[in-house]
Amino acid sequence: MLKLVAMKKTFVLSMLMLLIVTDYAFAFWIWSPKTGKWVNPKYAVKPTPIEQLDFALGFYKDDKLKEAEREFKKLLKYYPKSSQAAEAQYYLATIKEKKGRLYEAYLAYQKVLDKYPFTSRINEIIEKEFNIAERFMQGYKRKAWGITLPVENPAIEIFSKVIENSTYGPLAAEAQYKLGLILKNLDRFIEAEEEFTKVIKNYPQSEWVTAAEFQIASCRAKISPSSDYDQEAISEAKRRFEKFALSHPDAELSREAEENIRELREREAKGYYDIAVFYQKQKAYKAAEIYYNTVITDYPKTIWAAKAFSSLRILEQKDENIPKR
Any residues with CB less than 8 A from the CB of 184 and at least 6 apart, and which?
A: 192, 215, 218, 219, 222
Q: Is 50 part of a structural domain of the chain?
A: yes
Q: Is 65 part of a structural domain of the chain?
A: yes
Distance of CA 98 to the CA centre of its chain: 19
> Could you say which residues of the chain have pLDDT below 50?
2, 5, 24-27, 225-229
Q: Is 92 part of a structural domain of the chain?
A: yes
For residues 20 and 62, state if they share a domain: no
Residues counted in the chain: 325
pLDDT on residue 227: 46
Q: Is the Cβ–Cβ distance between 258 and 248 less than 8 Å?
A: no
Distance of CA 274 to the CA centre of its chain: 41
Of 141, 168, 200, which one is at a domain's C-terminal end? 141
For residues 80 and 61, state if they share a domain: yes
In the chain, % of residues over pLDDT 70: 75
Q: Is 72 part of a structural domain of the chain?
A: yes
pLDDT on residue 203: 96
Residue 273 to residues 227, 263, 278, 312: CA-CA distances in angstroms?
A: 13, 15, 9, 11
For residues 24 and 79, state if they share a domain: no
Q: Is 319 helix (H, G, I), strand (E, B) or coil?
A: coil
For residues 40 and 63, state if they share a domain: no
For residues 62 and 39, state if they share a domain: no
Of 106, 141, 176, which one is at a domain's C-terminal end? 141
Q: Is 39 part of a structural domain of the chain?
A: yes
Burial string for 4-38 (b: 16+ CB within 10 Å, else e) reads eeeeeeeeeeeeeeeeeeeeeeeeeeeeeeeeeee
For residues 113 and 124, state if they share a domain: yes
Please give the tally of structural domains in the chain. Answer: 2
CATH number of the domain bearing residue 90: 1.25.40.10
Q: Is 246 part of a structural domain of the chain?
A: no
The span from the CA of 15 to the CA of 289, in Å, is 115
Q: Whole-prediction pTM value?
A: 0.70
pLDDT on residue 1: 54
Name the residue range of residue 119's domain.
Answer: 45-141
Among 240, 242, 199, smallest CA distance to 223 is for 240
For residues 65 and 105, state if they share a domain: yes
